[in-house]
């Protein structure tokens, strides 16, 4: 059966190597391919994938929100986030999911860290942040304080998530967010600051004022570790990078398509091989 990922550009996607490794390990008769789809071609591409009876496909930039009108149904989580990253073809009905939520939380749980009852300081308010916030709320975070460069551009986050939990938006250079970061049990970076090739960057964290036992989670997976992770680790903090989230969200998608648990060990092994090249 056919699986794949659509996006533009798509050549950089690491999903094929991970998913095909899991497919081979499970002994399934599936194939996963990367398919470049320009924005203006999205409606016809979705129709074509339906007609070709693809079992499912991943969705990446810039189609995660744009694809929603062309699907028959989307999960509750995807509705709240406003983005779909996984589509399942269920007898001709295309159902959209967002597995980034599970990927983020499950990877954190694997480190024996949970958000339940915890205060969270989160940097960034883009598409990735929305999935992370959804996961944190589902996991029971007591408060989520979001730091951004321009709070006026992040008001959509409040509109989407305020009915579901305690969330506030701050200018990340302001005193109010500094106070929020000081009391945070978990500090999350969802911005691209520190991502290859700009590996010298990081969010404006004042390590002298955060809790000694604060847990740092940077969802960037290249490079690994990021500057934020290195500096946090040097100061004795426990850290987690984005590779585990990437693998886990892919494994959740794999299970939705195949009904079979993915071998996350082989997925991580192949991912690391690609990142090291």
> In residues, how long is the chain?
277
Tell me if 19 sits within 8 A of 259, measured CB to CB. no
Which residues are annotated as catalytic?
A: 64
Tell me if 102 sits within 8 A of 252, measured CB to CB. yes
Q: Shortest CA distance to 58 belongs to which of 242, 220, 221, 251? A: 251
How many alpha carbons lie under 13 Å from residue 244 in its C-beta half-sphere? 14
The residues that bridge with 215 in the sheet, in sequence order, are: 186
Across 54-76, b (16+ Cβ under 10 Å) vs e yields bbbbbbbebbbeebbebbeebbe
Close Cβ partners of 132 (under 8 Å, ≥ 6 residues apart): 100, 104, 122, 188, 190, 219
């Amino acid at each position: 059966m056919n699986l794949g990922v659509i996006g533009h550009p798509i050549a950089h996607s690491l999903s094929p190597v991970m998913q095909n490794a899991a497919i081979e390990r499970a002994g399934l008769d599936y194939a996963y391919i990367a398919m470049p789809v320009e924005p203006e071609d999205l409606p016809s591409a979705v129709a074509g994938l339906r007609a070709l009876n693809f079992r499912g496909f991943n969705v990446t930039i810039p189609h995660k929100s744009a694809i929603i009108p062309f699907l028959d149904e989307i999960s509750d989580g995807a509705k709240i986030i406003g983005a779909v990253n996984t589509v399942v073809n269920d007898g001709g009905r295309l159902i959209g999911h967002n597995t980034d939520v599970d990927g983020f939380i499950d990877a954190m749980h694997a480190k024996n860290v949970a958000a339940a009852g915890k205060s969270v300081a989160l940097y960034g308010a883009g598409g990735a942040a929305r999935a992370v916030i959804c996961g944190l709320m589902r996991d029971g975070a007591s408060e989520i304080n979001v730091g951004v460069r321009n709070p006026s551009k992040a008001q959509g986050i409040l509109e989407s998530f305020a009915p579901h939990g305690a969330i506030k938006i701050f200018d990340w250079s302001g005193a109010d967010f500094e106070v929020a970061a000081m009391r945070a049990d978990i500090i999350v970076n969802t911005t691209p600051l520190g991502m290859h090739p700009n590996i010298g960057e990081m969010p404006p964290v004042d390590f002298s004022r955060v809790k000694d036992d604060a847990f740092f989670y940077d969802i960037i997976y290249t490079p690994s570790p990021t500057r934020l992770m290195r500096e946090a680790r040097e100061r004795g903090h426990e850290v987690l990078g984005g590779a585990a989230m990437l693998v886990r969200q892919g494994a959740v998608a794999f299970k939705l398509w195949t009904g079979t648990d993915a071998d996350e060990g082989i997925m991580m092994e192949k991912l690391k091989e690609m990142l090291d090249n």
